[in-house]
Chain A
Amino acid sequence: MPLGPLKSRLPVVGRVLLFLGLLFLFLMAIELLSGSMKVAGNDTAESMLKGLNNPFAGLAAGIMATVLVQSSSVSTSTVVALVGAGQLSVSMAVPIVMGANIGTSVTNTLISLGHVTRSDEFRRAFAGATVHDFFNLLAVAIFLPLELATGYMERTATWLVSLGITGTDSGFQNPATAAVKGAAVGIQNGLASLGLSGGWLAIMMLLIALCLIICTLYYITKVMKSLLADRIEEWLNRVLEQKGMIGLVIGMLTTMAVQSSSITTSLLVPMFAAGVLTLEAGFPLVVGANIGTTVTAILAATVTNQAGMTIAFVHFLFNSSAAALFLPIPALRRLPVSCAHRLANAAARNRIWVLIYLGTVFVVIPLLGILIWKR
């Protein structure tokens, strides 16, 4: 639904209520997805997910799933639900959420292709879009082996969760969480009363949950963007005026507000294309968007358990660690920027590089990864 009609049809109060309703449905969908796994039974779910034991298969699956749904919020929320349901261990889920980070960067890269007819504009837009890709690829190249060797993110997340910021198995259940769980159980009972049971009930619950997660996140993004458009405009203008690390904060705030890093990074593409935002000034915004998007998984984890919250925190720690490593060190900060510049220059000279790049990073490598390492 276009933003304009949404803004004119609904007053502010209506849009706030709509957001709260969508949030309720989103959390209920997470609960429903966890429930579907429990109904399916451990054997079924385990056989579905056992191929992801290999971290590289998990990484490839995370990239592929996110490319297909065009939203890391959807894929990470689904992973949180699966971890919360006990069907996926935190260790198995770590590469998947890292893959989701890479997969989500394809959206703004595709958007940059809209500028393909004007060479200089396209070069700037493509560089602005792919700096997100290169940052995520480099972050995974550094932090996935580090995590596999040390497990520091999982351990830190487990410790953070033990401090008391937990899911619903902490003993206390707030009324909102209870209402979400009640609604999910209501849907499950409703489907059961239609005669569904066992595998069919699980499949139906899974389908409803996935549809609800995709739809609610899509509309939450729309509603929040319509509510906060002026504020986002003000924030982005501030980045253009002040530059520096304020971009990190503004990237985080914008993404937390609209619940989608793709929306934030896609908003930047026309600004890169027009040349009003340089790659160097826009890079902290992109990094901030990566951190901001972790809020969705944390939100989803509030209706799961400690394991669900742990993987949500791992997602946050991964993106925060990458920001802490790349932003303060000039040589590292320049690395993704320089890679994006080089690729964009090549793509502006010959468009075949766009196809080679997109096909290799987002299709061929993930597919090969799944096929080779899933065994």
Chain B
Amino acid sequence: MFEWFSNVSSGAAGLDRMRNDFCQMLEAGRRVFDMATDSMLGLTDPEAIREDLFKTEKRINKSVRALRREIVVHSTVHGPNSFPACLVLMSVVKDAERIGDYGKNLFDLATTAPMVQETEWKADIAQLKERISQLLSDCRDTFATSDRDKALALISRAEKIEDQCDEQVRRILIEEPPKSAVYALAYRFLKRVASHVFNVLTSVVQPVDRIDFAKKLPLARDDDQSAK
């Protein structure tokens, strides 16, 4: 009996399971990212990987909702002591979902404007892709082991990648004649702002596990409609 109790009362089983689920999401995100960037760089036929990519991205979204439900149950059963870990997971699960989203955006870009010509930009993006893919893989391992030193080293690598992207965007916008890229980026950022407003609003009307998702959004109430 003692053994049975010790197996079930460690208090960490639920957290371990959620951490494991989250790491699987990161792995799926990396898969989406790799497939999308390979097609963008002309290394894969987009049509050959389209179904796999969208299925994987859908799986990530499903995992987000499942993980949120698990977080609610875990914090309900284990009480205030579990809140810090649950809040961390609630926050990072969104990042894992976004990685899948942006992978899908890159795939859309690949199908809209594939990089057929060998340019300096393409070579730069190819090496960035390798570094980000490796970063995602290392991030998953580091999150699983909670290795603080390794995390700090990876943060530094991530910041360098971000700086490099910012610098390239600046070069495109300033050093070259600003063309459609300016408008494209403007639209992109406008959309991001609207999307985040949407996310905040979903937290008012959607159950916890469906925050940020448009699926099963309740209809506007009569009083809202009459106000229009």
Contacts and interface: CB of A to CB of B under 8 A. Distances in A.
Given A275-B206, A276-B69, A233 B77 contact: yes
B76 interface: yes
Interface string B200-215: 0000111111100000
B14 A233 contact: yes
A12 interface: yes
B11 A230 contact: yes
Judged by DSSP, the binding face of B is helix
Interface stretch (B39-47, B78-86, B107-115, B120-128): B78-86
Among B9, B70, B80, residue most surrounded by chain A Cβ atoms (within 10 Å): B9
B68 interface: yes
A352 interface: no
Interface stretch (A195-203, A266-274, A357-365): A266-274
Nearest to B210: A275
Contacts of B79: 2-4
Nearest to A232: B77
A4 B207 contact: no
B183 interface: no
A233 B1 contact: no
Interface in B1-20: 1-2, 5-6, 8-14
A236 B77 contact: yes
Contacts of B5: 12, 15-16, 227-228
Nearest to B70: A237
B205 A270 contact: no
A240 interface: yes
A26 B174 CA distance: 80
Contact of A4 (B13, B76, B77, B81): B81
Interface residues of B, number: 32
Contacts of A46: none
Contacts of A270: 72, 75-76
A234 interface: yes
A67 to B, nearest CB: 24
A233 B78 contact: yes
A13 interface: yes
A118 to B, nearest CB: 8
A336 to B, nearest CB: 21
A360 B72 CA distance: 33
Across chains A and B, which 10 residue pairs bring their CB atoms closest together, nearest first? A275-B207, A274-B208, A4-B81, A231-B8, A276-B69, A230-B13, A233-B77, A270-B76, A274-B72, A233-B14
